[in-house]
Amino acid sequence: MSFTIHGTGICGGIAIGQALLHSHTRLEAGHYLLPRAQIAEELGRFDAAVDKTRSEFKTLRDNIPSNSPPEFEAFIDVHMMILNDSTLSKVPREIIEREQCNAEWALKLQSDELLAQFDAIEDAYLRERRADVFQVVERLMHALGGQPRYVPDIVDTGQSKILVAHDLSPADVLQFKQHQFASFLTELGGTTSHTAVVARSLNLPSVASLHYARSLIYENDTLIVDGTQGVVIVDPDPQVLADYRLRQHQNEIDRKKLRRLRTTRAMTLDGTGVELHANIELPDDVAEAEENGASGIGLFRTEFLFMNRDTLPNEEEQFEAYRQVVESMHGLPVTIRTYDLGSDKNIDGADRSALQNPALGLRAIRLCLTEPRRFQIQLRAILRASHYGNTRLLIPMISGVNEVDQTLHQIELAKQSLRAKGIPFDPQIPIGGMIEVPAAALALRMFRRKLDFLSIGTNDLIQYTLAIDRTDDSVAHLYDPLHPAILHLIALVISSANRTNTPVALCGEMAGDVHLTRLLLGLGLRQFSMHPGQLLAVKQEVLRTNLSSVRLLARRMLRIADPERMQSMLERLNAD
Ligand code: PEP
Ligand code: MG
């Protein structure tokens, strides 16, 4: 039976394919032995987790939205039954006692055993129950306080597989780059989480906030993903499928047409040149930036070099990665951002989600300044790469003058250490700051002269100004780039930078949204940096824009408070 699930589109376009449930992966749990005296306590901990999971199911069943598919209640009942079965609620207790191990490990041993039994079943229907068992185990694991961590077991997916996951970390998505999925669907997540940012960089139609998707979708179900509308159609009727295939084909034709603009200079109708740069996560992404005619790399998110590995990249490895990017851009500018780790991008197994407000904690430049040794390694590597091409160094999450001073001091120390060893670098390497904390935008006057360029990170600027956690899907609907406070801050930064002839770019997700191109041009922005896949559509918009006619309207939009009027004004700005 065909049905539709609604979520939040995080990357536009249409994908059609078969569902691959991410829960069909291995669950990892720590293993430790307990003294005999602690066994009773551990059993109590396990029982409490079972009770907690049971009451979660009960709450879910009591609060089923009236528009949910009728199967939903049955799903919850099946999960309740699985939980209450002695294979899950009793056998792990016996393992804890017998092996004297922690509850997570006992649960893992038992779930491995159960899942292996399901794998051996011939009957397709019964085999599908494996996903249900896994989901219950996963909830139990969560209730035990452990964060279930998934290790993908996916080897060869093929283009038409659509990954359906509860949640994915940015590192997970990065790892999936090699698996060639047609689309990503997640039950959690908002539009500007780093996970969404990486998914968008893969240019795959994707939808987040699809609550209960993994309960409603079965392995190998045929899915249509409409990333623009944020909708997933499960098991579509043949007529609907044919219609979407046609639309998919039309999108492909439009994309091919856009490719003709690859070498066209980005210039408005009245002759103002605009720089369109690419955001990249890994050195190999440069190929896509070139294919889409990027006139530079506006943001190299170097923290992705640090992920999905056991040891940190040393100076040599980092230097090679940066040099590769700089050289392959053949003299075009490459903006390397020092690592922005912390918050939702962690390494070292450091799980900062346990903190109450990880996004307000030790993140980005704050983290770098507390770990000067690690920071020096990266600074030296970037400086060394600057010898091989047009390199710029960008500092993330500046919040005030002190951080600018401390960072400039660190850069000076790195330069001195290279000089002492006679290692070449560009002594004039431009140093820029990201404006993504409202305090930095408001206090820009105090430090803009210390920097050579600025880059507005609207993903974080929106998160911190509107107080909405980028990773929390329950507040994703409040994400509003047209909020008057956001437009004012952007306009303030652009005009303040222009006053001192400080080059200013915008590298958050707003830069790649064609609906906002004219507005940003009208506010004085001349440098945009975005995912390579968005470049040509934005270029087309630039080529169609007459600056003199959008300037006035864009300024007027700064005075509008009512969201509906704002929307109709935007439509006026984008008309013709
Ligand atoms: C931003 O915050 O807008 C930005 C470009 O940085 P990131 O998305 O990596 O936080
Ligand atoms: Mg940011």
The predicted structure's pLDDT at residue 171: 67
Question: Within a 10 A sphere around the Cβ of 562, how many other Cβ atoms?
Answer: 10
**Atom 6 of ligand 1, residue of closest alpha carbon:** 457
Instruction: Give the phi and the psi of residue 308 in degrees, each rounded to 5.
Output: 55, 40
Q: How many helices (H) and strands (E) does the chain have?
A: 23, 18
pTM over 0.85: no
394 pocket-lining for ligand 1 (C-beta < 6 Å) = no
**Which residues are found with C-beta within 5 Å of the ion, ligand 2?**
436, 457, 460
Compute the distance between CA of residue 381 and CA of residue 56 in angstroms, rounded to an integer.
Answer: 49
What ranges in 474-534 are assigned the alpha helix state H?
A: 484-499, 514-522
Q: Does ligand 1 have an atom closer than 6 angstroms to the CB of 214? A: no
Mutate-to-test residue for ligand 1 from 280, 305, 341, 459, highest number of ligand atoms within 8 A of CB: 459
Q: Angle at CA 289, nearest 5°, toward 284 and 294?
A: 150
- State in Å: Cα 296 to ligand 2 middle: 19
- Which among 174, 434, 479 is the best mutation to test ligand 1's pocket, defined by most ligand atoms within 8 Å of the CB? 434
Q: Which residues neighbour 397 within 8 Å (Cβ) at sequence distance 6 or greater?
A: 340, 363, 364, 365, 366, 434, 436, 437, 457, 460
169-to-8, 126, 285, 347 alpha-carbon distances in Å: 17, 31, 19, 12
Give the three-class secondary structure for 321.
helix
DSSP-derived pairing of the beta strands 334-337 and 391-395 = parallel
Q: pLDDT at position 124, please?
A: 66
Query: What pLDDT, on the 0 to 100 scale, is given for residue 457?
Result: 98
Cα-to-centroid distance, 278 and ligand 2 (Å): 15
What is the whole-number distance in angstroms between the Cα of residue 172 and the centre of ligand 1? Answer: 18
CA of residue 461 to ligand 1 center, whole Å? 8
What amino acid positions are annotated as catalytic residues?
Answer: 194, 507
- Residue 561: how many other CB atoms lie within 10 Å: 7
Q: Does residue 481 line the site of ligand 1, with CB under 6 A? A: no
Query: What pLDDT, on a 0 to 100 scale, did the predictor assign at position 485?
Result: 97
- Residue 459 Cα to ligand 1 midpoint, Å, equals 5
Would you say the C-alpha torsion 498, 501, 502, 508 has a positive or negative sign? Answer: positive
Distance set, CA 455 to CA 24, 198, 400, 549 (Å): 41, 19, 15, 26
Ligand 1 within 6 A of CB of 303: no
Residues of the chain with pLDDT under 50: 24-25, 148-157, 349, 352
112 token code pair: 């491995």
Element (H, E) at 433: strand 431-435
Q: What is the pLDDT of residue 199?
A: 77
Cβ proximity of 140 and 49 under 8 Å: yes
Give the pLDDT score at 158: 52
CB distance 465 to ligand 1 below 6 Å: no
